[in-house]
Amino acid sequence: MRNMALALLAFVSLLGFPRSIPAQQSSSGGAVSALMRLLESGRLPPARQGPALKLLCQRGGPRELGYAFGVALDDKRPLELRALVLAELVQAARQRKLRPAGDLTQLKRLLQGPPQLQQHAVRLAGLWQVRSLAASLGRLAGAEQTSPAVRQAAIEALQNLRGSEARAALEQLARAAGNARVRMQAVGALVLLDTDQAARLAAELIPQLDDQTDPAPLLQPFLDRRGGTRALAQALQGKKLAPDVARLVLRYLYSVGRSDAELVQVLSRAAGIDLSKPPFTEKDLPGLIAEVNSQGDPVRGEMIFRRKDLSCTKCHAINHVGGDIGPDLAALGASSPVDYVLRSILFPNQAIKEQYKTKVIITAQGQVITGIQVSRDEQKVVLKTAEGQLRTIPLADIDEEAEGRSLMPEGLTRFLTRRELVDLAAFLSRLGKPGPWAIPQVPVLRNWQVLVRPRPEVVQQVPDEFLLEKKVRAAPPGRWQAVLGLVRGDVLLEEAAQVARSPVVYLRTRINVLKEGKALFEITPGEKVQLWLDGKRLPSGAQVEVSLRRGRHEVLLRADARGVKRLRVVVRPAGGSGAVAQEVAGP
């Protein structure tokens, strides 16, 4: 404590506090009080106010936080300073469970304020439990002009508020016509507050979904809640579900490693799937092995492996490109016979390797978390879920704990025809073997992201560097979605265009230059593609030579999928430069 106080006093001294401050102030409270007096004096230079207020929020109590809140409310203060203070108040609420003294309802002024302040203010309304703002948060979440990030924050704030007003606002959002994602998010938030009512609202919403909708915001909260899937199954009893919608929900359950019996039964009946008959058994194996060897098409099999509804690439990487939840499959075919490959697909729970065994943890609050254990100590356990998220659970919060099954459920094969299963196994059983399915030895780029819904001004024309920076590179992370290259390295631009929802696609990846020097970008077809390196336009062509400095660099491409079907990019040393560049794994 004394060291912290001395550090605070040293900081106050650096900021220029008058020498009259007594040096014997040795408690943290005394040092914080000195900092407060300095701020209140008005003599602190503007450039030093930000660091001082940040420290005040990190160390101060309710009175000091109240002063900082006043700064955030002051329209005469710089916008950047007010945003910094609000962000620090969010951290104080989350980490130290503190809120300012004074009238917190003044947050309402910021709910419709500048975007830089709005999202922080919305979060604070929930963290500070300002229940009188529930209706305002509900209106904000439902407004068409509200950004997705602020809308999500508003719904989370309502969940944190609890209480009848918050529940009413969430129910109104869940029943509102229009944006299906907003309705799903509202129902998902309500699961924690009233699981049965949330299940009833979900049962009204699910039949209205189409087979292109991602049901994760609606379904995952039920999976994370003890008794959640049972409540949802009961609410769906007797509801008319289109087979494609039922299959959509089933696929999501299987893709995250869940096969909760009651919910699977209800959905399977609606989807026309007979659960009493397993799709494939041990007796089918000899015939399947023979078909894989004689008729299997690995080209079609790679396309099946990439199908979104099977989620293979979400869990598995091929040579470090793809998910990192299950094992990397780059050498699967070279090390495993067809029999092993088929068994792994059909019966994933028969032989689970130790490092891929799952745990199911139920917390005292009724939360259900399933994943692979990453670490454990005397205070906490960390699990990696099927979505690739790391979840930290304090040991004191654990109510029940058990060994789980494989994150790859057996039910996924119900969505494959026999021919599709044979082709998928043919692809996996050839991975890593010499020939067309060997991992390329050239440094080909495969780990791409595509910009979803690029702005019209960068679709209609090739942007200059200013427009590229503003409309493409500055796009938030949520608008970039993974598009992986084939094993050989080709990017399928038709597939990328579907994800982008635009015929003109912007693709980006990152390279890490380990040894600087001249490098050659080999682009196929180079004449129809625009290339930027760290935002700087490079010449078009099949081969482009550049000088690469050590460190990470962004590679950005623009291509029109109406004229280009496939794209392949290789980065290799130019001449004898010895430059070494590696693609960066992950998002």
Residues in the chain: 587
What's the whole-number average pLDDT of the chain?
88
Over residues 64-94, the pLDDT tens digits come to 999 999 999 999 999 999 999 999 999 999 9
With bands split at pLDDT 50, 70 and 90, how would you rate the model's confidence at 9? very low
Q: What values do phi and psi take at 541, rounded to 5?
A: 150, 170
Sort 219 into a burial class: Cβ within 10 Å, 0-12 / 13-18 / 19+. Answer: buried
Over residues 324-336, the pLDDT tens digits come to 888 889 889 888 9
pTM: 0.75
Category of 173 on φ-ψ map: left (φ > 0), alpha (ψ -120 to 50) or beta: alpha
Helix (H) or strand (E) holding 450, with range, is strand 447-451
Q: Is the pLDDT at 20 greater than 50, yes or no?
A: no
With bands split at pLDDT 50, 70 and 90, how would you rate the model's confidence at 532? very high
With bands split at pLDDT 50, 70 and 90, how would you rate the model's confidence at 221? very high
With bands split at pLDDT 50, 70 and 90, how would you rate the model's confidence at 196? very high
DSSP state of 585: P
* Residue 231 confidence (pLDDT): 97
Sort 485 into a burial class: Cβ within 10 Å, 0-12 / 13-18 / 19+. Answer: buried
With bands split at pLDDT 50, 70 and 90, how would you rate the model's confidence at 16? very low
Is the bond into 463 cis (omega within 30 degrees of 0)? no
DSSP state of 561: T
Q: Is the pLDDT at 435 greater than 70, yes or no?
A: yes
* Residue 24 confidence (pLDDT): 34
3-state secondary structure labels for all residues of 13-57: HHHCCCCCCCCCCCCHHHHHHHHHHHHHHCCCCHHHHHHHHHHHH
* Residue 587 confidence (pLDDT): 61
CA angle, 409 then 413 then 415, to 5°: 115
In 3-state terms, what secondary structure has residue 440? coil
Minimal CA–CA distance to 545: which of 511, 506, 579? 579
Lowest average pLDDT, out of 91-95, 251-255, 433-437, 553-557, goes to 251-255
**Domains of the chain, earliest start first:** 2-200 (1.25.10.10), 201-272 (no CATH), 282-346+409-430 (1.10.760.10), 354-403 (2.30.30.100), 447-583 (2.60.120)
Instruction: Report the distance separating Cα 531 and Cα 539, nearest Å.
Output: 7
